[in-house]
Amino acid sequence: MDFKNTLTFDIECYVNYFLIKFRKVIGGDIIYFEKFNDSELNRKNILHIINKYTLVSFNGNKYDSVILEAACQGFNNASIKKISDAIIEEQLQPWQARKQFGVGALKYDHIDLIEVAPLKATLKIYGGRLHCPTLQDLPLPPDSTIKESDLPMMREYCGHDLEDTELLLKQLEKELDLRSQMSEEYKVDMRSKSDAQIAEAVIKSDLVDKYDINPKRPSIKEGTEYFYQPPDNLVFETEILKDVFRQYCERPFVVGKSGHVEFNFEMVESDRKKSGKSKGEFPDNKKKLQFIIGDTKYTVGTGGIHSCEKKVRHTNEIGILREYDVAAFYPRIILNNELAPKHIGAPFLDIYGSIVERRLKAKAERNKVVNESLKITINGSFGKFGSKWSFLYSPDLMMQVTVTGQLSLLMLIERLELAGISVVSANTDGIVTKMTEKQELTAQEIVSDWEFETNYEMEGTDYQSLNSASVNAYIAIKCDGSIKGKGAYSDQREHFYSLRSNPSNDICTEAAKAFLKSSVPVEETVMACTDITKFLNLRTVNGGAIKNGQLIGKAIRWYYGSEELDAIWYKTSGNKVPKSDGGVPLMELTGEFPSDVDFPWYIAEAKRILTDVGLK
């Protein structure tokens, strides 16, 4: 992305004060405009700037743009604040706010990062995940009346938000480049869209252009029932899995209030005994089912399949520890079984199939940009099957895909276990097997037959060890020497995880991985580190946090100090912030390493991680 003509911008709004501040991404030059006590606002210069540059905001489409438009139309401070309050407190959509208050929309080149950033977080939390220099809360409550002496403080605070927006922008450069390329191809501005929104735009564009179909959102009533229609290739041998299969086929899936399908398994006597209710009553529902195959316990439900291991370590000492992942599992289920939204039909499969094939071709040709952009469309469109606000909404398809996926994996697991090959872990689209070298050929034959029958394709990865706190939190040491961390043990420095999780004593996970891979003592890794960001914790504290009577903020970060006794506390409830005993707030990063870091605490935490992942 070319940042040469790009500005970040942010707005602060009070009953007697409006501030808009712009910052050049290249060079860092800043200009701001204020309207204080209904003073004259230099609207001409603001309009010149927004028409000349590409503007980047966080949540600008829903908030900043409307406030900017009102200010540029000459609304007084009180009126601008009234619009601001309505958007925030009444959650008005931009078009509703414009209509209600008579605000005219402005056209300018604008990118809003809030949908591009993964998951949902505040700008400050994203900034904290990227180790922004300053974490600062709004210095004055939103209902304050601003004094002239407050103006420098407000400008400085707004500047920190611009720095965070720029950090986020640069971190999302790859994602924005993909969106820019797709915008050119489909003639729709996708730079401010989420992956799922992109999928909708791409498929809708093709439906209109190629099939003259303008799809509308279907209306499906709460309580609508669907029954699972299994593909012919699903066959089970054991009584346990025959019963699981039977329940999925015979019992209804029901559309709930949220629009998602809900499912309840049959109640048995053990459910009554386990319910904990008085008089031994049955529980209200049974959304999940647990059972054992071989030595591994599994849970199934509408959310998918997963094994139930805790604090387990597996190694390849007896032979081979191999993970099998199904390539493009859900897309293949959709295409193999011709699953199309009923209100769209075959054109959906034509479009979806061509996207999948284009992606596979791009992947084979190592065309990374095209590969990643099409991956966004493929995965995003599946997610929209479950959204009642989308024209792709098809709760029956969501059910068909997820249930077929878990039953297909269970069929493979059953065959491997009946052949004496242990499956030690399973989750959504893959399994981990443990076998001797003599069993490898048998395993390969079983997997190959399964691939042929189901038309899926497996990708194998061999591990030295798999160290699991749970199925979704593990450290795997691959045979090629690389390390795969998931959940709490993912590498927060990796691009994929950098915006998805809060820093939490990263040095401890790093030390545990070094020990598992190369037997490096955790003390050595921890004591040698001089990067304070690897010792930090980041957390949102609703209502704000205090330490030693001083207000810290709602987004806080801290390290553990060797001389610190007290914890960090919630301002509103007076309760202790979890895991904050000995925490030293570090809201400003200066580049210096504190002299009071509690190294023994981090060493003990690294050893606890090793225990949690099954190391005896």
What's the confidence (pLDDT) of residue 246?
Answer: 98
Residue 92 and residue 103: Cα distance in Å, rounded? 13
The whole model's pTM is what?
0.92
193-212: pLDDT as tens digits: 998 898 899 999 999 999 99
Q: What is the mean pLDDT of the chain?
A: 94
Note the pLDDT of residue 443: 98
Instruction: Specify the DSSP element, H or E, that contains 32.
Output: strand 30-36
DSSP string, 181-226: HHHHHHTS--TT--HHHHHHHHHHHHHHHHH----------TT-EE
Least confident interval from 182-186, 231-235, 455-459? 182-186
Centre a 10 Å sphere on the Cβ of residue 508 and count the other Cβ atoms it contains: 25
- Report phi then psi at 473, rounded to 5: -145, 100
Q: How many residues does the chain have?
A: 616
Q: How does residue 379 score in pLDDT terms, banded at 50, 70 and 90?
A: confident
Does an H or E element contain 430, and which?
A: strand 430-435
Q: 178 falls in which pLDDT band (50, 70, 90)?
A: confident
pLDDT band at 251 (very low <50, low <70, confident <90, very high): very high
42-101 residue pLDDT tens: 999 999 999 999 999 999 999 999 999 999 999 999 999 999 999 999 999 999 999 999
Indicate whether 279 pLDDT > 80.
Answer: no
Q: What is the pLDDT of residue 376?
A: 81
Q: For 345, left (φ over 0), alpha (ψ -120 to 50), or beta?
A: left
Q: Are 566 and 546 in contact (CB under 8 A)?
A: no
pLDDT at 504 over 70: yes
Q: Provide the greatest CA pair distance for the chain.
A: 83
Q: Which residues pair with 31 in a beta bridge?
A: 22
- Residue 509: half-sphere exposure toward Cβ, Cα within 13 Å: 24
- In the chain, % helix, strand, coil (3-state, to 5) comes to 40, 20, 35
Which of helix, strand or coil describes residue 129? helix
Query: Mean of the pLDDT values across residues 233-241?
Result: 97
Mean per-residue pLDDT, 103-117: 97
Residue showing tokens 């180790």: 131
pLDDT at 275: 58
> In the prediction, which pLDDT does 377 show?
83
pLDDT above 60 for 277 = no
The predicted-structure confidence for 122-165, as pLDDT tens digits, reads as follows: 999 999 999 999 999 999 999 999 999 999 999 999 999 999 99
CA distance 389 to 260: 12
253, 227 Cβ separation under 8 angstroms: yes
pLDDT at 291 over 90: yes
Backbone angles phi, psi at 463, to 5 degrees: -115, 145
pLDDT band of residue 365 (cuts 50, 70, 90) is confident
- Predicted local confidence at residue 285, as pLDDT: 87
Please answer whether residues 584 and 558 qualify as being in contact, where contact means their C-beta atoms are separated by less than 8 angstroms.
Answer: yes
Contact 421, 433 (CB under 8 A): yes
**584 token code pair:** 């030293």
Whether 135 contacts 214, CB under 8 Å? no
Q: What is the mean pLDDT of residues 220-236?
A: 96
Answer for the pair 98, 69: CB distance below 8 angstroms, yes or no.
yes
- For 433-452, the pLDDT digits (tens) are 999 999 999 999 999 999 99
Over the range 375-395, which residues count as b (16 or more CB within 10 Å of their CB) and which as e? bbbbebbbbbbbbbebbbbbb
What pLDDT sits at residue 374?
79
Q: Measure the CA–CA gap between 59 and 1, rounded to whole angstroms.
A: 20
DSSP 520: -
What's the pLDDT tens digit per position in 463-501?
A: 999 999 999 999 999 999 999 999 999 999 998 899 999
Q: How far apart are CA 129 and CA 123, in angstroms?
A: 10
Q: Rounded distance, CA 401 to CA 331, Å? A: 9
* Amino acid at residue number 255: V
Report the distance separating Cα 43 and Cα 47, nearest Å: 6
Query: Is the Cβ–Cβ distance between 487 and 473 less than 8 Å?
Result: yes
Share of the chain above pLDDT 70, in %: 99
